[in-house]
Amino acid sequence: FTCDLIRNFSIIAHIDHGKSTLADRLLELTGTIKKKEVGKNEQVLDKLKVERERGITVKAQTASMMHTFNGKPHVLNLIDTPGHVDFAWEVSRSLAACQGALLLVDASQGVQAQTISVFHIAQERGLKIIPVLNKIDLPAAQPERIAAQMQATFGTDPADIIHISAKTGKGVEDVLQAIIDRIPPPSGAPTAPLKAFLFDSLYDRYRGVISLVAVQDGILKKGDRVASCHTNKKYEVQEIGIMHPEEIPVNGLYPGQVGYIACNMKESSEAHIGDTLYRVGTAVDPMPGFKPAQAMVYAGIFPVETSDFPKLEESIKRLALTDRSVTVQRESSTALGQGNRLGFLGTLHMDVFRQRLEDEHDANIIVTAPTVPYKIVYKDKEVYVSNPTEFPDAVDAASKVKEIQEPIVKASIIVPEEYFGDMMDLCFTHRAEDLDHRYLDAGTGTSSSRIILTCTIPLSEIVTDFFDQLKSRSSGFASFDYEEAGYKASDLVKIVFLLNAKPVDALALIVHRSHEDAIGKEWVKKLVKVIPRQMFEVPIQAAVGKKIIARETLKAYRADVTAGLYGGHVERKMKVLERQKEGKARMKRMGSVNLPQEAFFEIMSSK
Ligand code: GTP
């Protein structure tokens, strides 16, 4: 055995530039999977239903390939990474197990926002980067122009760029050769004390937690007693193997190898991402770990039928086991009953989780409006609040609140020149500051120059409709990425909605003062549409502190269901009343107002 015969790499790219397609071609070329019939476009490494439907990779997958070069069998470990902005943390984690990365760029679209961010992550980690231009089969491909863009943006030598079509397979052999020639093999000593880097974990119903590890030094074998640098807990390795891409048990993992182990971890929190495993009885320095993923967007999830709560909570727990970046807490609301408050990396992450709950767990749920974590500064302490119900009503001496701060991000948008004005406008209406821009390239006769626009913008502004508007106002041409940029003082207020003068906790929102009127009015209009009429008139109001900022009136409705029935038909009359009573049972009494749980579903899902 020797490390020289191993290469560990990732494919990094902007969403849709063809990572999964290239991964499939590499797996086919190395005989890891059978070649698929032409026209079939199911990807092997993308496994979740939501990933197939949305065509995005959510969870990174790993596959080991065997390939013979110059008569020597090599092991190529591909660590797949997701491409969406929400999942930068997963990208960084996958790259920690690699020595090189294929930087894939669509030859018709060119460098996009995430191309730049993943390039930086790879560069910071010191990886060898192989530039690859994909989709050269497309009539709209402009490989020379995009190569020049890459040179201008990353300092790439155009001579180093490999031109391929992952779809037809053209040029993919060259990629395989470049992986061997350009990416350094991992370094590690089989005789040194065992050091294995834990970079991902899966959950299996029967075997518990399965950890994915990259062995740095030493040899990891079945039956070994290992311990975690992070928790000091000890485990016995029950099963060990490689992902091919299905699990294949092996006798041992050598330095530089990537594989899985099952070692009786019961809770997925025991598999700490970024942890170092060592052999019990030896002493090692842990490898540099990760800062844990930070939830940026929070929302309450409640069952449509309140009695479904235990089942829903169980489903949420199960799903959270497969997605370590979700945080879960109990929450209860007078309006919606028992539920959970979940923290996500971003809104796409939230949508994906919601869809998985619905698809895989058949859950019927209400998701409250997303909230970012706000920082409430008191005289003597700072408190983070991610639930509008805990947000103070005012910043004043009485509430002891000195200041409220909100998270801001540094955003970059790449867009063809003709949409630049629209993008500036979009940024301004979303409270962006420090706007700056520069040209990415000069454009050609047939296509315009691209501009990269950067700004700082409150995170709360981009968790609502920003992404949708960005896409629609740029005809889909704009790409977008952001990174955290700390906290900033801001004039934020809590809007409370009142039904018949009683506040409804689940509807509270936190907004910037400049948006309070517009949002108050919009929500009141929405509410009057979805709340069923009552026996009496109901005022629907939006309030900030004591001030009413919007109002609509829900007209009274006299539901005299028996009016049309005469004298003798007592039986029928009883039945009608019975049915009406059943209807009532499903209502929630909000103060004096009857509100079906479904109304919340409609409010939260209407845009
Ligand atoms: P995420 O997993 O969401 O990050 O996307 P991805 O980068 O894995 O992209 P994927 O492989 O799913 O490809 C996106 C689309 O581009 C699919 O419709 C592919 O069929 C198509 N595609 C990929 N490579 C090529 C290519 O070389 N030529 C052409 N014409 N289409 C391609």
Q: Does the Cβ of 114 fall within 6 Å of ligand 1?
A: no
Which residues 6+ apart lie within 8 Å of 234 measured at CB?
225, 226, 227, 280
Residue whose pair of structure tokens reads 């867009």 in the numeric block: 415
For ligand 1, atom 15, the nearest C-alpha belongs to 16
Angle between helices 143-154 and 113-124 (to 10 degrees): 50
> Does ligand 1 have an atom closer than 6 angstroms to the CB of 274?
no
Q: Which residues contact 65 (CB under 8 A, 6 or more apart)?
A: 26, 27, 30, 32, 75, 76, 77, 78, 244
C-alpha 367/C-alpha 354 separation (Å) is: 8
**Is ligand 1 within 6 A of the CB of residue 135?**
yes
Where do the H-state alpha helices sit in 206-346? 309-322
**Nearest by Cα to 265 from 275, 256, 255, 257:** 275
Q: Helix or strand or coil: residue 227?
A: strand
Is 430 labelled a binding residue?
no
Please state, in angstroms and rounded to a whole number, the distance separating the CA atoms of residues 62 and 44: 11
55 Cα nearest atom in ligand 1: 3
d(CA 190, CA 197): 15
Side chain identity at 601, as an amino acid letter?
F
Q: Looking at the CA of residue 104, tell me the nearest atom of ligand 1.
A: 7
The verdict on the CB of residue 231 being under 6 Å from ligand 1 is no
Read off the tokens for 117: 């961010």
For the CA atoms of the chain, what is the radius of gyration?
28
Of 21, 80, 104, 135, the one to substitute when testing ligand 1's pocket (max ligand atoms within 8 A of C-beta) is: 21
Q: Does residue 490 have its Cβ closer than 6 Å to ligand 1?
A: no
Distance from the CA of 93 to the center of ligand 1, in angstroms? Answer: 23
- The finding on whether 18 has its CB within 6 A of some atom of ligand 1 is yes
Provide the pLDDT for residue 92: 72
Question: What is the reported pLDDT for 305?
Answer: 84
Q: Is 184 in the pocket of ligand 1 (CB under 6 A)?
A: no
Residue with token string 């009885």: 281
> Ligand 1: does its nearest atom lie under 6 Å from the Cβ of 56?
yes
Triad 158, 160, 162: Cα angle to 5°: 95
Ligand 1 pocket, 542 CB below 6 A?
no
81's tokens? 């990474």
Burial of 397 (0-12, 13-18, 19+ CB in 10 A): exposed
Q: Is 232 annotated as a binding residue?
A: no
If one residue of 10, 11, 15, 20 were mutated to test the ligand 1 pocket, choosing by the most ligand atoms within 8 A of its CB, it would be: 20
The total number of residues shown for the chain amounts to 607
CB 355 within 8 A of CB 347: no
pLDDT at position 39: 46
- Output the CA 356–ligand 1 centroid distance in Å: 23
* Ligand 1 atom closest to residue 166's alpha carbon, by position in its atom list: 27
- Residues 172, 28: contact at Cβ < 8 Å? no
How many whole angstroms separate alpha carbon 537 and alpha carbon 553?
Answer: 7
Please, what is the end-to-end C-alpha distance for the chain in angstroms?
59
The values of phi and psi at residue 110, to 5°, are 80, -170
For residue 500, the CA-to-ligand 1 centroid distance in Å is 53
| 328 C-beta closer than 6 A to ligand 1 | no
DSSP 8-state symbol, 123: H
CA-nearest residue, atom 1 of ligand 1? 56
Contacts of 221 (CB under 8 A, 6+ apart): 237, 240, 251, 252
Find the 149 Cα to ligand 1 centroid distance in Å.
20
Please state the three-class secondary structure of 332-365 as a single string. EECCCEEEEEEEECCHHHHHHHHHHHHHHHCCCE
158 Cα: distance to centroid of ligand 1 (angstroms): 23
Q: Distance from the CA of 20 to the center of ligand 1, in angstroms? A: 7
What pLDDT was estimated at residue 164? 98
Q: How many CB atoms lie within 10 A of CB 362?
A: 9
- CA atoms within a 13 Å half-sphere pointing along the CA-CB vector of 87: 24
3-state secondary structure of 281: coil
- Which residue do the tokens 């197939």 mark? 52
Ligand 1 centroid distance, CA of 495 (Å)? 43
Q: Is 21 a pocket residue for ligand 1 (Cβ < 6 Å)?
A: yes
Look up tokens 């048990």; give the residue: 249
- Predicted TM-score (pTM) above 0.80: no
Q: What would the two tokens of residue 16 be?
A: 């849709």
- Whether 15 has a binding-site annotation, put simply, is yes
Determine the distance separating the centroid of ligand 1 and the alpha carbon of 141, expressed in angstroms.
14
Q: Judge whether 132 and 104 are in contact, CB under 8 Å.
A: yes
Residue nearest to atom 26 of ligand 1 (CA): 135
CA 86 to ligand 1 centroid distance, Å: 19
Q: How many CB atoms lie within 10 A of CB 484?
A: 13
Do residues 222 and 247 lie in contact, with contact meaning Cβ atoms separated by under 8 Å? no
Angle at which helix 88-95 crosses helix 113-124, to 10 degrees, equals 30
Strand 100-106 and strand 195-204: the pairing is: unpaired
DSSP code per residue over 167-184? TT-TTHHHHHHHHHHHSP
Contacts of 125 (CB under 8 A, 6+ apart): 92, 95, 96, 98
Q: Provide the 8-state DSSP code for 371.
A: B
Averages of pLDDT over each 10 residues, the chain, 607 residues = 86 88 90 62 52 51 85 88 60 80 95 88 92 97 94 94 97 96 92 89 81 92 91 92 85 91 84 86 75 81 89 90 82 88 86 86 87 92 91 79 93 93 95 93 76 95 85 88 90 92 89 94 90 85 93 78 49 56 51 71 69
How many C-beta atoms surround the C-beta of residue 9 within 10 A? 24
Give the dihedral sign, CA 491/494/495/498. Answer: negative
Position 585 scores a pLDDT of 44
129 is in an annotated binding site: no
Q: Of all atoms in ligand 1, which is nearest to the CA of residue 84?
A: 4
Distance 18 CA to ligand 1 centre (A): 3
In percent, the amount of the chain with pLDDT more than 70 equals: 85
What is the CA(477)–ligand 1 centre distance, in A? 16
Does 19 count as an annotated binding residue? yes
Give pLDDT, residue 372: 94
Q: How far is the CA of 137 from the centre of ligand 1 (A)?
A: 12
